Amino acid sequence: MGMDRKIEKKKWPPRKIALVAFIVIFIAFVIYVFLFKFRTSSLNVEKERITISTVTKGPFQEYIAVMGNVMPRYTHYLSADEGGRVEEIYIEAGTMVKKGDRILKLSNTNLVLDIMWREADFFSASNNLRATRLAMEQYKMQLRKEQIDVDNSLLQQRRLYERYNEMAKEDLISRHEYELAKDQYDYLVKKKEITIESQKNDLEFREAQLKALEDSVNRLQENLVVAKQRQENLYVKAPVTGYLTALDAEVGQSKTQGQRMGQVDILEGFKVRAGIDEHYLPRIEVNKTGTFDLAGQTHKLVVKKVFPEVREGRFEVDLDFVGKDPTGITRGQTLHIDLNLSDMTEAVLLARGGFFQSSGGNWVYILDKSGKFAVKRNIKVGRYNTDVYEVLDGLVPGDQVITSSYESFGNIDRLILK
């Protein structure tokens, strides 16, 4: 009886196990990728319905588009130097005027009454001054007469004193008579001195009074002249020779002092006034430049004045043409201006488009090298102008990007181009 032989199971060698494991893992990976690929959302898109832009590298300058209106470079405003009611209008808006031409007349009853009172005060003071001057001349004549009387009395007494003095030496008169003559002479000498000093002081006082009265009359006259000048100011006149482009006045209207009523433009050159969103106020400075196209030519502007006052979310700037004014430019013309905010630099650039509204510039659809499909890619954009965005990260020159609107794509990850 033969013995049964025990059959031993062959064990798999380690290399074979490793190979089988690798194959299983690879198959699982392929199945995973295959399933994931089909799970990724995709959408068929017609190529003719989208805009594809190529990323470039080149000069970049940040600028904004603004609208500007052509205005005369020099404008003079009409204002009321005196308040009043519009009585008569001599010249209508839209007319050439010369400096000094009367444009309209205001009436002011209070000013007329004021002038009448000032004239009455002036005439009264003038009459008083004339009367005082006449009285002064009469007083001087009276003083002169008193002085002559004193001089005459002194002269006679001196003669008598001198004669008595000679007679007293020869004892021809009594000592008493001589001393009376001497005392009377000394008295008249002192009286003359006192009279002269008294008259001098009195004259100085009266002349000071007369001078004060003359000054008062002069002041009244000056005030009257000023008041009459104010009356002349009721005529609103052209401040310069130019074109009366606006006149806000109707007969019967009341105008306050300093109120603006119109303007006269000097037709010697133009400037441009532009309104800009207040967001850009910190970045707009004098000497910033801009350009605009007119009749097929590009012209340059420079900011000359910034008005920081914000109204309805906007502020204004005045710009001058660089060089001569463009041929054919007219007052009131609207210009489309590219106003520069930065200097020229080198940058990676992507054309602007409707994609920004959907992605906020955080991602784009970029085409595969085959050009058959496009996938999402995160990017980062910086500054921009009306034409391009500055790309800071995520794209390189030569990349092709869909820049038209993504609104109809929803949250699709992959676009298949047909």
| Beta strands 414-417 and 42-45, pairing class | parallel
Residues of the chain with pLDDT under 70: 1-12, 30-40
Is residue 152, in this structure, part of any structural domain at all? yes
Domain containing 315 equals 64-106+243-340
Q: Are 347 and 388 in contact (CB under 8 A)?
A: no
**End-of-domain residue from the set 232, 257, 291:** 232
Collapsed DSSP state (helix, strand, coil) of residue 355: helix
**End-of-domain residue from the set 179, 210, 232:** 232
**End-of-domain residue from the set 340, 370, 391:** 340
- Asked whether residue 55 falls in the same domain as residue 143, the answer is no
The confidence score (pLDDT) of residue 274 equals 95
For 42: left if phi > 0, alpha if psi spans -120 to 50, otherwise beta; the answer is beta
| CATH number of the domain to which 286 belongs | 2.40.30.170
- Asked whether residue 113 falls in the same domain as residue 223, the answer is yes
The confidence score (pLDDT) of residue 403 equals 93
The confidence score (pLDDT) of residue 31 equals 66
Number of domains in the chain: 3
- Asked whether residue 279 falls in the same domain as residue 219, the answer is no
- Asked whether residue 168 falls in the same domain as residue 251, the answer is no
pTM exceeds 0.75: no
What single DSSP character describes residue 404?
S
The confidence score (pLDDT) of residue 1 equals 44
Identify residue 132 by its one-letter amino acid code.
Answer: T
DSSP letter for each residue of 162-207: HHHHHHHHTT-S-HHHHHHHHHHHHHHHHHHHHHHHHHHHHHHHHH
- Asked whether residue 113 falls in the same domain as residue 228, the answer is yes
Separation CA 399–CA 56 (nearest Å): 8
The confidence score (pLDDT) of residue 2 equals 45
- Asked whether residue 314 falls in the same domain as residue 282, the answer is yes
- Asked whether residue 127 falls in the same domain as residue 213, the answer is yes
